[in-house]
Amino acid sequence: MEIKYVDGWPQPYRLPDAEPYWKALQSRQLTYQKCHACNDAVWPPHSLCPHCGAESLQWEQASGRGRVYSYSTVLRGPTAAWAEIAPYTVGFIEMEEGYYLFSQINAAAPEDIKIGAPVTLEFIERGEQILPIFSLTGS
């Protein structure tokens, strides 16, 4: 698979099921799927509910609030664009709605990031794509 770069940033590979997610991000809205049969959050996007098999998946707007579930700080970026922002932290956010989103976690000092720390959604432009990025709540 060919990765497309814009301004040095790799652009996401957009799977058809996730297309509404990428589109909503361009309007700075974070969305996720919710199953209206079993009421569970579904992430990553599917055509059928992975919990109960129902086809009644709907797109909902996320609150943007969550907690750090796991993280890793990258000291040397894999490409020039990433190297320029290193050190940076990525990890899983346990979202208030009950799903886990992989994202960048922003902090003035990476050592301030802790498991369980509350984080708040922000947005960042990377090439043509607007992406979610989380900051420590109240910082």
Query: Which residues contact Zn ion (rule: CB under 5 A)?
Result: 35, 37-38, 49, 51-52, 54
**Residue closer to Zn ion (CB basis): 17 or 122:** 17
| Integer angstrom CA distances of residue 85 from 25, 38, 104, 108 | 22, 41, 11, 12
Smallest distance from the beta carbon of 50 to Zn ion, in angstroms? 8
Smallest distance from the beta carbon of 49 to Zn ion, in angstroms? 3
Smallest distance from the beta carbon of 99 to Zn ion, in angstroms? 13
> What distance in Å separates the CA atoms of residue 137 and residue 139, rounded to the nearest whole number?
6
> What distance in Å separates the CA atoms of residue 54 and residue 34, rounded to the nearest whole number?
11
**Residue closer to Zn ion (CB basis): 54 or 130:** 54
**Residue closer to Zn ion (CB basis): 58 or 63:** 58
Stated length of the chain = 139
**Residue closer to Zn ion (CB basis): 41 or 136:** 41
**Residue closer to Zn ion (CB basis): 15 or 52:** 52
Smallest distance from the beta carbon of 45 to Zn ion, in angstroms? 13
Instruction: Tell me whether strands 100-106 and 129-136 are parallel, antiparallel or unpaired.
Output: parallel
Give the DSSP H/E element, type plus range, for residue 106: strand 100-106
Residue with tokens 């957009």: 14
Is residue 132 within 8 Å of 25, Cβ to Cβ? Answer: yes
Smallest distance from the beta carbon of 41 to Zn ion, in angstroms? 10
